[in-house]
A and B are shown apart, each in its own frame.
Chain A
């Protein structure tokens, strides 16, 4: 079936609302407006205002209310418009959602799903474009996932809703219009494993979310030069699938992490450290990172492009690590 990432995400929402009466969706403009990215268009008409709830611009209150409703037996899906806005709810996510089970000695559980858009590339400047996935991936007690494909956009939500603990889903905003084929019976997928999207023997490109397409394009270019890059899609940012990462490095002996987050204190650094800890004696070259430049994302297109990881910067890093001019 030919479809888009947006429609795949919507199909997942619709299925969840149809099959479980405890599920409801809430967030800013998810109802009448149809979702800031049109993901929830038509759901208000189908399921009514009780289960598709427009909220005030009160991130702290409606994310906290999602936590409370989860404690009270519901299975809420809370949409936060972008990761930049989610900082207004960071207190609720970090201090409550992530802590309550452990701090209550296992008495409480927060089966909550939070979806939010992330990432740059649409000239939205520095308050709508950042990639702060690693801030969430830093926190024990929540699971953090990044669907990069149609299958995952369709399949991660049902699995997240079955989790007895909070799951944060990051949807890269540039992916919503991406078209592709989705199997008719596509459904739930695991929230555990990284996946090799392209096998290769010479080096490993480790990436996730909106950067997966760029990494695959870079691998195509490299293949024409005789360099076979393996591309690993992390899918799950917390907990990291370290066996998959290390396994790939053991095959290729070289690793480059492509991460739209900033370099300093980021996920790429974490992954690099894990490789060094677990596969140091497998490395035939230093681990490299291709990250976003250390600036707020600018509006002007040429500046924004220059700030982000791009296919040519990934290719250049691969050539360098292979000792090629």
Chain B
């Protein structure tokens, strides 16, 4: 039960079709968010907008290990998770536009995407707040005799919250099928991990609660997928929680209104050389995998999907103010 990082050399042989699908998803997340940043500047999107750019390999890789019956609990930086789970780009963009055709009818915005049909239980924006929910979802599955597992994403900042420790303990104590996924991008907003944790080895913390824990290079989508499959299979087989730490980095600031004063340019540029999209493209450059023409076609396809999403969002209506109080309770009336 010791922590250790899975070496990047271990991923299985790469098939052309699967590699293309992974690359396409990471490109979609990247282009979608670049468009979102642009539209934020244009005033189409308001509120907080936390971009996932740089971390695409994490959501993309982990989702490969999940079945449609599994539950997903995510954070407020969850556009990538929603897209990788198969939530269409249009309703996500519409949600950020605050339109009624958004995946939360425009009530949640960027931080609160929901799609219950895909068991996407949402973006939780209180750091650590989603972990107890994930434990409960897993408890329900266990009590109802369902085989599903619950994948719970959270950041390195959440490790400082009591909810992290309470939830790991409770899931381990009750042997609940939760896959805890710590996206360690080294900063809790602007505070570096080493400046808020006495013990910076997050996997070691999981091990202390009797939760088998490991860590993986979060910039390598193939390594992420392999590690997530190993951990998810173990959760299913053993019927108890596992923790996977995904070591990653966000290339953009914490949110749109962040001057990024707490990191050096050098540090950011160093990490950008390990851009998960470039890493996979390099792997796919081998003969017989993905030619330059095919890559360009993929880019065009993704651009079109993002453009369609914007069109969909633009066409959305604003929810009438008269519906302000609907969905407060199950009965329609206030």
**Chain A interfacial positions (CB closer than 8 Å to B):** 22, 24, 50, 53, 55-56, 58, 60-74, 76, 91-92, 95-96, 100-109, 140-141, 143, 163-165
A305 to chain B, nearest CB (A): 36
Q: Which residues of B contact A106 (CB under 8 A)?
A: 105, 326-327
Decide if B114 touches A108 in the complex (CB within 8 Å): yes
Binds A, one of B55-63, B130-138, B242-250: B130-138
B126 within 8 A of A: yes
Decide if A72 touches B136 in the complex (CB within 8 Å): yes
If A73-B144, A105-B104 touch, whether A66 touches B136 (CB-CB below 8 Å) is: yes
Q: Which residues of B contact A107 (CB under 8 A)?
A: 104, 114-116
Binds A, one of B2-10, B165-173, B219-227, B230-238: B165-173
Q: A107–B132 Cα gap in the complex (Å)?
A: 20
Decide if B328 touches A140 in the complex (CB within 8 Å): yes
User: Please, which residue of chain B has its CB at the minimum distance from the CB of A105?
Assistant: B105
User: Please, which residue of chain B has its CB at the minimum distance from the CB of A143?
Assistant: B329
Decide if A61 touches B140 in the complex (CB within 8 Å): no
Decide if A58 touches B166 in the complex (CB within 8 Å): yes
If A64-B133, A68-B132, A68-B135 touch, whether A101 touches B329 (CB-CB below 8 Å) is: yes
B295 to chain A, nearest CB (A): 37
Decide if A68 touches B106 in the complex (CB within 8 Å): no
In the complex, 18 of the A-B residue pairs with CB atoms within 8 angstroms, ordered by the A residue number, are A60-B166, A64-B136, A64-B167, A68-B136, A69-B136, A70-B136, A70-B140, A71-B140, A72-B139, A73-B144, A95-B126, A95-B129, A101-B327, A103-B114, A104-B107, A105-B105, A107-B115, A108-B116
User: Please, which residue of chain B has its CB at the minimum distance from the CB of A70?
Assistant: B136
The interface centre, meaning the residue of A64, A70, A76 with most chain B CB atoms within 10 A of its CB, is: A64
Decide if A74 touches B122 in the complex (CB within 8 Å): no
A297 to chain B, nearest CB (A): 26
Decide if A141 touches B144 in the complex (CB within 8 Å): no
Give me 11 other A-B pairs in contact (C-beta within 8 A), A68-B139, A91-B126 excluded: A61-B135, A61-B167, A69-B143, A71-B121, A72-B137, A72-B139, A91-B163, A103-B107, A103-B122, A105-B114, A108-B121
The 8 closest A-B CB pairs, nearest first, are A68-B136, A64-B132, A72-B140, A105-B105, A61-B166, A65-B136, A58-B166, A164-B330
B277-334 contacts to A, CB under 8 A, are 326-330
B320 to chain A, nearest CB (A): 14
B285 to chain A, nearest CB (A): 42
Decide if B327 touches A102 in the complex (CB within 8 Å): yes
Decide if B166 touches A56 in the complex (CB within 8 Å): yes
Find A68's partner among B105, B116, B140, B144 (CB 8 Å cutoff).
B140
Q: Which residues of A contact B328 (CB under 8 A)?
A: 101-102, 140-141
Q: A96–B108 Cα gap in the complex (Å)?
A: 13
Decide if B116 touches A58 in the complex (CB within 8 Å): no
Q: Which residues of A contact B138 (CB under 8 A)?
A: 68, 72
If A61-B167, A69-B143, A141-B329 touch, whether A104 touches B132 (CB-CB below 8 Å) is: no
User: Please, which residue of chain A has its CB at the minimum distance from the CB of B112?
Assistant: A103
Q: A173–B115 Cα gap in the complex (Å)?
A: 41
B154 to chain A, nearest CB (A): 13
A118 to chain B, nearest CB (A): 23
Q: Which residues of B contact A69 (CB under 8 A)?
A: 136-137, 139-140, 143
Q: A288–B6 Cα gap in the complex (Å)?
A: 69
Decide if B132 touches A63 in the complex (CB within 8 Å): yes
B34 within 8 A of A: no
A161 to chain B, nearest CB (A): 14
A265 to chain B, nearest CB (A): 23
User: Please, which residue of chain A has its CB at the minimum distance from the CB of B100?
Assistant: A105
Decide if A65 touches B327 in the complex (CB within 8 Å): no
B75 within 8 A of A: no
B185 within 8 A of A: no
User: Please, which residue of chain A has its CB at the minimum distance from the CB of B121?
Assistant: A71
Find B144's partner among A65, A66, A72, A105 (CB 8 Å cutoff).
A72
If A62-B170, A91-B129 touch, whether A74 touches B144 (CB-CB below 8 Å) is: yes
Q: A100–B134 Cα gap in the complex (Å)?
A: 14
If A104-B104, A105-B106 touch, whether A68 touches B133 (CB-CB below 8 Å) is: yes
Q: Which residues of A contact B134 (CB under 8 A)?
A: 68
Decide if B122 touches A104 in the complex (CB within 8 Å): yes
User: Please, which residue of chain A has its CB at the minimum distance from the CB of B174?
Assistant: A53
Decide if A71 touches B136 in the complex (CB within 8 Å): yes
The interface centre, meaning the residue of A55, A67, A68, A71 with most chain B CB atoms within 10 A of its CB, is: A68
B178 to chain A, nearest CB (A): 10
Decide if B133 touches A96 in the complex (CB within 8 Å): yes
Decide if A56 touches B107 in the complex (CB within 8 Å): no
B214 within 8 A of A: no
A195 to chain B, nearest CB (A): 22
B153 within 8 A of A: no
Decide if A24 touches B108 in the complex (CB within 8 Å): no
Q: Which residues of B contact A109 (CB under 8 A)?
A: 330
Decide if B329 touches A165 in the complex (CB within 8 Å): yes
User: Please, which residue of chain A has its CB at the minimum distance from the CB of B164?
Assistant: A61
Digit string of B116-129 for contact with A (CB within 8 Å is 1, else 0)?
10000110101001
If A56-B169, A72-B71, A141-B328 touch, whether A104 touches B136 (CB-CB below 8 Å) is: no
